[in-house]
Every structure is written in structure tokens, then in C-alpha cells.
Chain A
Amino acid sequence: MTKMQNFLKGLIRENPVLVLILGTCPTLATTTSILNALGMGVAATVVLVCSNMAISALRRVIPDKVRIPCYIVLIAGFVTAVELLLHAFVPSLYNSLGIYLALIVVNCIILGRAEMYASKNGVINSAVDGLGMGCGFILALFAMSFIREVFGAGSFCGIEIPGLSKYCIPILAKTPGGFLVFGCLITAVNALSHGKAIKKKDFGCAGCPSAATCGKLSCTDEEKTGEEAAK
């Protein structure tokens, strides 16, 4: 896989939000306005690229047993640094993102990429992967916030659109509308890729972090053993 392909896969084919369905919480919460969504996307991307690089560089040093605590400490460190920097230099964004900024620590995209990619690949590739996934995240957030702000609040980046602000659909800016738009976007991506995107995702049992201790080839095995145990 070339670097370009590695970067591009995050945009649509393995889009973290719309195909892998990771990081749903910040996606729903911060997409009520375009500027918030972009701020969130950029902040998460910075953290993602930094953490991917650090984890990839340390992948031979970190013992398997404590890899998750190590990843979390590294990610939390980068998030706190970004939080402090935003508070100091972009206070308006810091205020509008609020709690969701700190919650980047538990953003599944970042931990997911650390576990799935950075822990197995080189530093440069991991950085490219992080950048691609981050851009995919930004793209998904932008698409969602665009629909929600333009049609839900009748404004673009906080500027009211004449004519539209009187006829907006307020539910789009609320939580249920968020789910609605989210579902429609997933449908759209599936339709565009003819369902291939979903099948391509590499989250089989082999990708599961507990695969080594679980020992089963697929989750259906588990049901069978459960039934046998009942007998």
C-alpha cells in the first residue's frame, strides 16, 4: 500500500465515522455548528497524528501486558497539551467545545488506530494513517455539521443565510436530528461504495484486542460452546 493509498483510505473507504462507526459521541455532540465541528476535527486530528507517531515509535518498547495503559497515558498527555494550548491561544473554541475536548482521550478513533495500526507499523506510515483518518473525521464532521447548521439553524459558520433562517428545520440541530443525519450519511456512503466499504473493514475476530486470550475463530463459536455448556 503506497502512502497515498494509506492516506486516502481514511477519507471514504475506511472513514472512521461513517464506515468504521467510531467516535460517534463527539460526532453527534459537536456538529450543531460548522466551526465547532471543524475545531473538534482539527483537535482530534492533531492528537491522532501525535499519538500514532509516539505509539508507533515505542511499539517495540511497550510490553503487550501494559499496552492499553501506555496508550491511554500517551493519548491523555497529548489531549491535555492540546487543551492547554487551545485555552491559551483560541479561547473561543475552547469554550464552545467544552467537555468534548477532554473527551478526545476516550475517542475510539484514536485508541482504535493505536491498536489496529500504529502498534504494528512504522512511524511515517502511522503518521500518514493518522492524518488520513483525521481528515476522514473532519470530512464526516463537516458534512454532518453543514447539513445540521444550514438546514437546522439557517446559518453558515454563524452567519445567517437570508431567506433560509425563517424556514429552517430546528430538529436537525437537536440530538434526534443528529442521529437522523448520521444515519442518512452512513446510507449515502454505503450507496456510493455499493456496500463494499462496510465489508472492507478489518474488524474481524483477528483484529480484536482479546483475540489471543479468546482463542475462538469467530464469535458464533462462543454461542455454540454456550449451548453445549447448557446441555
Chain B
Amino acid sequence: MTFKNIVKPILVLTLICLAVALLLAVVNYVTSPIIADATAEAERKARSEALPGATEFTEVSLDGYADLPDTVSACYRDNDGGGYVFLVKGEGYGKKSAPITLLVGIRPDGKVAAIKITDVSGETAGIGDKVKKNDFTSRFPGIDADGVDAVQNVSGATYSSTGVKQGVRDAFTAFAAVTKE
């Protein structure tokens, strides 16, 4: 009675949990290197898209710079001197909890090479996430730090567009700090 009512359920549940955990460990062992490779490759590709022509990057540490906007999370320098790529967050409709993530490529002469928006999950599907489209991102190449405000927003998606622009502005702030020396 006691065994059937108390011990058996515990035993069965424990065994099932162990078996499932074992199965997942095997699956994870097989897939984790593939996932890591794919993620690294996707990041490298995205950086190349933000800075056309560049393939190899070196990460620049941002620890030493004071007064950087905290939206700038990483900086990469093109090994061939083609400029910098900044990984920045822009506050769109998803506010701080689900910011727009974008890569901003800036040439050494202080002009945008291209921008690549990597995450718009916080924006409204079909409205705000239109900023990811080429129609909008193609308005950025060639502009300098003063030209960001003049870029036309996506109609109906002012918040999301403003978030992207704020990200680009922050990238310029970081660019100015990194290239000052």
C-alpha cells in the first residue's frame, strides 16, 4: 500500500526525469558545436554586411572609454583598415526590455558604410519591423554624424525608426571616442 502509493510514483517520476535528461544531454552534445559554429558564422556575416568589403575583424575593447552610451555593446575593427562595426541597441517600441539590435558600419572618414538590423523582435510585426527592410536601411549609407536626424522615418513606424536612428547616433559617439587617439 505504502509502496504503491508513495514510493512508486516518486520512483517512476525520477526515472522518467533521468531518462529525459540523458536524452537531452545526448542531443545537446551533438548540436551544441553546430549551433556555436552557426552563430559565430552568422555574426561574422552580419558584420561583413554592415561593412561591405571587410571579412576579417578584430574586437576592440570598449572598457577604457568613459562617457560611452551604454547602448553600445561591442566594437569590431576591420583588419584591412576599412572602418569599424559597432553593435548597438536602439530603443524602439519594445523599450529597454526588447531593444532593436543593429550593427552600424562606419568608414574611417566618419560616414556610414551600411547598417544591418539583427533583431526587431520587440517591434510590432508588419509595422515596426519594417525598419529591417532594405527600403529603410538603404537610407543610411553615406551619411555622417550630423545627417542622422535628417533620415526619413518609415511611415507609421516612427518609434521604431527613431530607435534605429538613436542606435546609429550612439555608434557615432562611440566611433568618435574610439578614433580620437
Contacts and interface: CB of A to CB of B under 8 A. Distances in A.
Contacts of B35: 84, 87-88
Interface stretch (A56-64, A102-110, A156-164): A56-64
A88 B35 CA distance: 5
A65 B126 CA distance: 46
Contacts of B125: 32, 173-174
A81 B34 contact: no
Nearest to B36: A88
Interface in B34-48: 34-35, 38, 42
Nearest to B28: A84
A25 interface: no
B150 interface: no
Interface in B63-109: none
A66 B24 contact: no
Contacts of A63: 4, 8-9, 12
B147 to A, nearest CB: 31
Contact of B12 (A61, A80, A91): A61
A192 interface: no
Nearest to B23: A77
A63 B5 CA distance: 9
A32 B31 contact: no
A153 B27 contact: no
B6 to A, nearest CB: 9
B126 A173 contact: yes
A77 B20 contact: yes
Interface of B is mostly: helix
Interface residues of B, number: 25
Contacts of B42: 91
A65 B34 contact: no
Given A58-B16, A73-B13, A88 B24 contact: no
Contacts of A204: none
Interface residues of A, number: 26
Nearest to A89: B34
A215 interface: no
Contact of A73 (B16, B27, B121, B126): B16
A184 interface: no
A70 B12 contact: yes
Contacts of B32: 84
29 contacts: A32-B125, A61-B12, A62-B12, A62-B16, A63-B4, A63-B9, A63-B12, A66-B9, A69-B13, A70-B12, A73-B13, A73-B17, A74-B16, A74-B20, A77-B21, A77-B23, A77-B24, A84-B27, A84-B28, A84-B32, A87-B35, A88-B30, A88-B31, A88-B35, A89-B34, A91-B42, A170-B126, A174-B125, A174-B126
> Top 8 nearest A-B pairs by Cβ distance?
A77-B20, A88-B31, A88-B34, A66-B9, A63-B9, A84-B31, A81-B27, A65-B9
Given A76-B20, A84-B24, 12 more contacts: A32-B126, A58-B16, A62-B12, A65-B9, A66-B10, A70-B13, A74-B20, A77-B21, A81-B23, A84-B31, A87-B35, A173-B125
